[in-house]
Amino acid sequence: MLVNHEFGPFINKDSKILILGSIPSIKSREFGFYYMHPQNRFWRVLSDLFGEDLPKTILDKKDFLKRHKIALWDVLASCEINGSSDSSIKNPKVNDIKNLIKDTDVKTIFVTGRKALELYDRYCYKDVLIKAIYLPSTSGANATFSYDKLKEKYMSIMDYLKNNSKKEEK
């Protein structure tokens, strides 16, 4: 089934990092925002890392991202996909990530999942020239990573934000 990305990126001029998925899941497309499947652990991991309550509404999630200078988008603008299965992606059309971040403070890009990394490396890196940092998928279907292992891997976001803010203070 052909799927088009039905909602835009979440980004602000002062965003420091961009987190890219492959393309929104069925639930995310239904709700019109990122990582909205109830079994997806993305919001829980981030809120735990920042020591905050889990953001419940889309407005709460946008506020959380803005406060922490995090931008979200996906590598793909459209593709053929069965359900929400990244492994079934065919005929990908990529988003213009270079243009998205050109007037922002984004200097680091993280990708969630192997497919997002593969697509970014194949189609986007040559234009963006920022090496993507791999993070495991937070999907409930990713049984390889326990919640604690996910949190440990996602600490690299905190490390980057902490190190980046120290550089700005100098």
Q: Mind telling me the catalytic residues?
A: 40
The SS3 of residue 69 is coil
Which one-letter DSSP state was computed for residue 88?
G
What single-letter amino acid sits at 150?
A: L
The SS3 of residue 3 is strand
Contact 45, 150 (CB under 8 A): yes
Q: What DSSP string describes 126-157?
A: HHH--PEEEE----TT-TTS-HHHHHHHHHHH
Q: How many CA atoms lie within 13 A of 68 on its CB side?
A: 26
- The token pair at 167 is 């550089």
